[in-house]
Copies of this chain bind each other. A is one copy, B any other.
Amino acid sequence: MRVAATHPLTDSVRIGRPEAVFDRLDAIGVIKHLAPHESLVLEGDSANRFHRVLSGTIAGYKATSDGRRQIIAFFFPGDLVGLTVGEQYAYGAEALDRTSVCSVPRTRMRELSSHSPTLHEDLLAALDREIGAAQERLLWLGRKTARERIACFLLECAHRCGTPEEDGSQTVPLPMSQLEIGDYLGLASETVSRALAQLARDGAIEVLRPFSGVVIRDRRRLEAAMDEGPEPLGTGL
């Protein structure tokens, strides 16, 4: 089914993602609807299909044997979930809210891309961006403080899903819970709550109540918080 130029799909164009070509895929896949926390694929399943998000949000995650969880990526409308060359999914994926995806057989994709150089190029570009995103986040998780991670995260979300800026403020909807943000950033949910509160106290953001996103009030200050390092440990004295 060709989904018309409603909101979500045009995002990939609006943001300037290279893979607008993927819109074609919507025609050859089947639509699936997912309830909140319903799982789409499991880590280790044989990777027969991949999915393009039409609306809602998907989280890709890995877990340790004792239940600790690390969210690898959030997928928003237009994103491809489960791209892989390997035989198995490298991570599980589940919906965060009511979500619909377009499910495409891998064989079909292979076929298509071998006939279309542009599709092939865009596929490479999508993989490349997935690498870049993961590697960027290695820096966050390995070397940044909780406050810095939150600041980076908010600006990333603003870039991907934020509303246009108005008089210096930008609204950033966050469809995931603070626990999930924690699982994305390698933090406890309490730490996420505290860091958000601190950034709000500093005037960088405003947290929407009930929690559903933030408004960036002072982008300059938020950007400064991305990279400020550990506590200056007393400015004077």
- CB contacts (< 8 Å) of A186 on chain B: these are 141-143
A134: Cβ under 8 A from any B Cβ: yes
Copies of this subunit: 2
A85: Cβ under 8 A from any B Cβ: yes
Most chain-B CB neighbours within 10 Å: which of A65, A128, A144? Answer: A128
Contact B138 A65 (CB under 8 A): no
| A91 and B135 contact, Cβ closer than 8 Å, known pairs A66-B227, A85-B124, A127-B124 | yes
Contact B144 A141 (CB under 8 A): no
Contact A142 B65 (CB under 8 A): no
Interface string of A63-102 (1 = CB under 8 A from B): 0111011101000000000001110001100000000000
- CB contacts (< 8 Å) of A142 on chain B: these are 70, 141, 183, 185-186
- CB contacts (< 8 Å) of A72 on chain B: these are 135, 138-139
In the bound assembly, the distance between CA atoms of A172 and B148 in angstroms comes to 36
In the bound assembly, the distance between CA atoms of A91 and B134 in angstroms comes to 12
- CB contacts (< 8 Å) of A139 on chain B: these are 62, 64, 70, 72
Most chain-B CB neighbours within 10 Å: which of A66, A86, A139? Answer: A139
In the bound assembly, the distance between CA atoms of A221 and B65 in angstroms comes to 16
- CB contacts (< 8 Å) of A164 on chain B: these are none
> In chain A, residues 201-237, which have Cβ atoms closer than 8 Å to a Cβ of chain B?
227-229
In the bound assembly, the distance between CA atoms of A72 and B132 in angstroms comes to 11
Which residues of A are at the interface with B, using a C-beta cutoff of 8 A? Answer: 62, 64-66, 68-70, 72, 84-86, 90-91, 124-125, 127-128, 130-132, 134-139, 141-144, 183, 185-186, 227-229
Q: Which 4 A-B pairs have the closest CB atoms?
A: A142-B186, A141-B141, A134-B134, A85-B128
